[in-house]
Amino acid sequence: MTETIGIIGSGLSGSGLARLAVAAGYRVVLSNSRGPATISGLVEELGPLARAATVEEAIAAGDLVAIPLPLANVEALPADRLAGKVVIDQTNYYPAAGAFRRADLDNAELTSSELVQRHLRESKVVKAFHNLDWHHLSHNARPRGHAERTTLPVAGDDADAKERVARFVAAVGYDVVDAGSLADSWRVEPNTPIYFWPYAPVIPAGLTEDEEKKYYLEHSGAPLSPEAARKLIDGAERPSPVGGTLEGLPPAHVAIFLDLARAGTFQR
């Protein structure tokens, strides 16, 4: 039986995950805070396996439910409706990028995914698809056995839920490495070795800014084997201060991000 992926958030990360899922033969139910009518163009582009819905409908339909959202938006999610669901946590903590800041995150008392699990207390939260940008999320996917297939981490407290998400990650184009529990997920958060940089290309010297952005979008990072990914995770040191910064990301990505922000592309 074909699984359905419910997605709460239809911005760049949500639409990227939807493209991956549809390409792999999954049904997708997309939602956002602005209503199904605002996703009609994206759903038409995705084809017959995708449909637009309300947040509540996407949750009800989803065998897995993904939340490609700003971390600040998690508290608005209906925890009661998500009870019993396996939730794919794509959030990241970027305190410098907005008004959302928490002392317990800053002091490393818990990880961002533990914060998500605290709100979604009756759900099974699994961290995945969070550590590369929306473009390379779909651009880097490769079929099983392909020489350029790369590896993504997953982390979670429920073994069965983590295995279900790992199967989904593998089906849409990536090898998988287990990064441990939600308490361990700091090892795959911003400013750790497996975050963003392994999946982005090395930009040749001497290019203009526009050429760098074009090269970034047209190329991938070198394939990362599960063994190499494991070494990056095991060798991580907990970042201090906690949280991502634009300075910690590939410059070409930041330039593209700022272009899109100025154009008002970041709709959730």
Query: Could you tell me the residue ranges of all domains in the chain?
Result: 69-262
Read off the tokens for 165.
Answer: 């998400």
Rounded Cα distance between 142 and 136, Å, is: 11
Position 229 pLDDT exceeds 70 = yes
Give the per-residue pLDDT at 154: 98
Give the per-residue pLDDT at 266: 53
* Per-chain mean pLDDT for the chain: 95
User: Where would I find the H helices in the chain?
Assistant: 12-23, 40-46, 55-61, 103-106, 112-119, 134-139, 159-172, 209-218, 226-234, 251-262
Position 42 pLDDT exceeds 80 = yes
What is the CATH T-level fold of the domain 69-262, as seen in this structure?
Rossmann fold (3.40.50)
What integer is the mean pLDDT of 260-265?
Answer: 78
Give the per-residue pLDDT at 40: 92
Number of Cβ within a 10 Å radius of residue 175? 19
* 3-class secondary structure, 200: coil
Prediction pTM value: 0.95
Pairing, β 151-156 against β 124-127: antiparallel
Rounded Cα distance between 182 and 166, Å, is: 15
What integer is the mean pLDDT of 140-163?
Answer: 97
Position 132 pLDDT exceeds 90 = yes
Position 194 pLDDT exceeds 70 = yes
Position 170 pLDDT exceeds 90 = yes
Give the per-residue pLDDT at 31: 96
Rounded Cα distance between 255 and 252, Å, is: 5
Pairing, β 4-8 against β 27-31: parallel
Contact 209, 217 (CB under 8 A): no
Contact 221, 197 (CB under 8 A): yes
pLDDT tens digit sequence for 60-101: 999 999 999 999 999 999 999 999 999 999 999 999 877 789
